[in-house]
Amino acid sequence: MKLHEYQSKQLFSQHGIPIPRGRVAMTAAEARTITEELGGRAVIKAQVLVGGRGKAGGIRLAGSPEEAEELATQVLGMRIKDMPVRKILVDEAAEIQTEIYLGVANDRAARVPVMIASVEGGIDIEEVARKDPERIVRVWVDPFLGLREYQARNLASSMELPRQLWSEFARIASGLFKTFLDVDATLAEINPLVITHTGQLLALDGKIILDDNALYRHPGLADMRDVDEEAASEREARKYGLSYVKLDGDIGCMVNGAGLAMATMDVIKSMGGEPANFLDVGGGAAAEKVAAALQIILSDENVRSILLNIFGGITRCDEVARGILMALEGVRREVPMVIRLVGTNEEEGRKILAEADLPTAASLNEAARMAIAASRVEAVG
């Protein structure tokens, strides 16, 4: 789950990281009032859960409350990477000398968190990583010891920060690491952490991604979820406890088990098809869960055929078959469907489907071939 910039910065601030004064606004009039409160100059920042807002024109500098109102009107009318801007953050404008990148993520290979820093921060950090990888410095952090002061100082010295900023930088780095641990984040990032013209460090932007599997430990953070920013299909999937990720292809997939779901997608791709989604209905999928899953797949208008791959262990095949029939009541049936059903009660499941004129396949390869062929027939017709 991604947090907005303003939410991330609030969490940073609670961990002692300096952030600009400012507030969230929903209207241009509010933006004007906030800018007056801030002394007449402000940055207007679109709050959308996608990167590259700056490049898209979603970060604007206003020199007066009137200008703030005007720019806020523009930004609130924008769509950034297809997401409408509903909220803006109005922050005190900073005068920037240097933009630093500072982030923490898990290094899965090293099995510990890694703190990453670069003095070439700002909006083009990906470019720096590609062209000047030596300009990016890292320290690996033992989660039980936390970030040690000397590690933070090593980062500061490798980046050649002015010496008088080292202890403040170490304090901020330590606050960022604590934030990362406290909220069970998979990413906590400040980009840019700026040195202002008066030589102060200030976190101008913030990004936190929370680990969904740890959200149950943080009811307060789970409430920060911005449902407006999610695809409706992903919202529905969460409601029914389904793991669903929308993709760009045209073959809808419904599978029980994450590993089998990935294997199914691999088989489709190896045969020249493109999966429209990842969907794991989980073990013991009851009829209504299967029905919800089908509805979600069918709500994606790119879907031209559907492949169901069910291995009946805990999930009984007859139960799944009934779920499919239930789901088909009241949804568009012009999307062809191929079903591979093996395991517990498979005979009974197949019989139920055959009676309803739904094709079953003997193997996964055959099912994938049929689903791909069906998607192409539809595309022509």
Options 113-121, 166-174, 191-199, 275-283: segment touching Mn ion (CB under 5 A): 191-199
| Nearest distance in Å: CB 50, Mn ion | 12
Cβ-proximal residue to ligand GDP, closest one: 54
| Nearest distance in Å: CB 380, ligand GDP | 42
Kindly tell me which of 122 and 312 has the beta carbon lying closer to Mn ion: 122
329 among known catalytic residues: no
Q: What single-letter amino acid sits at 155?
A: L
- CA 265 to chain centroid, in Å, comes to 21
205 binds Mn ion (CB under 5 A): yes
360 binds Mn ion (CB under 5 A): no
- On the 0-12 / 13-18 / 19+ scale of CB atoms within 10 A, 225 is middle
Number of other residues whose CB lies within 10 A of the CB of residue 299: 16
43 binds, among ligand GDP, Mn ion, none (CB under 5 to 8 A by kind): ligand GDP
Q: Which residue has the tokens 């998607």?
A: 375
Which of 189, 240, 319, 346 is the catalytic position? 189
CA 235-241-246 angle, 5° bins: 50
User: Mapping DSSP to helix (H, G, I), strand (E, B) and coil, where does residue 223 land?
Assistant: coil
| Nearest distance in Å: CB 189, Mn ion | 8
96 binds, among Mn ion, ligand GDP, none (CB under 5 to 8 A by kind): ligand GDP
Query: What Å distances lie between residue 186 and 108, 153, 182, 195, 309, CA to CA?
Result: 11, 24, 11, 26, 31
CB 372 within 8 A of CB 345: no
Q: How many residues bind Mn ion (CB under 5 A)?
A: 2
69-107 burial code (b ≥16 CB/10 A, e <16)? bbbbeebbebebeebebebbbbbbbbeeebbbbbbbbbe
* Cα–Cα distance, 255 to 233 (Å, whole number): 17
189 binds, among Mn ion, ligand GDP, none (CB under 5 to 8 A by kind): none
Element holding 301 (H helix, E strand)? none
CA 173-176-181 angle, 5° bins: 125
Kindly tell me which of 78 and 326 has the beta carbon lying closer to ligand GDP: 78
| Nearest distance in Å: CB 196, ligand GDP | 9
280 binds Mn ion (CB under 5 A): no
Residues of the shown chain interacting with ligand GDP in the complex, contacts defined by CB under 6 A: 43, 45, 51-54, 59, 61, 93-94, 96, 99, 122-123, 191-192, 204-205
189 among known catalytic residues: yes
Kindly tell me which of 98 and 309 has the beta carbon lying closer to Mn ion: 98
| Nearest distance in Å: CB 320, Mn ion | 46
Handedness of CA 138, 143, 149, 150 (dihedral sign): negative
Kindly tell me which of 122 and 249 has the beta carbon lying closer to ligand GDP: 122
Query: What Å distances lie between residue 338 and 103, 253, 256, CA to CA?
Result: 45, 10, 15
Which of 6, 69, 101, 319 is the catalytic position? 101
| Nearest distance in Å: CB 5, Mn ion | 8
* Cα–Cα distance, 179 to 19 (Å, whole number): 14
93 binds, among Mn ion, ligand GDP, none (CB under 5 to 8 A by kind): ligand GDP
* Cα–Cα distance, 243 to 258 (Å, whole number): 8
Kindly tell me which of 43 and 352 has the beta carbon lying closer to ligand GDP: 43
Options 35, 118, 174, 191; binder of Mn ion; rule CB under 5 A: 191
Kindly tell me which of 1 and 190 has the beta carbon lying closer to ligand GDP: 190
Kindly tell me which of 205 and 318 has the beta carbon lying closer to ligand GDP: 205
Q: Which residues bind Mn ion (CB under 5 A)?
A: 191, 205
Write out the catalytic residue numbers: 101, 189
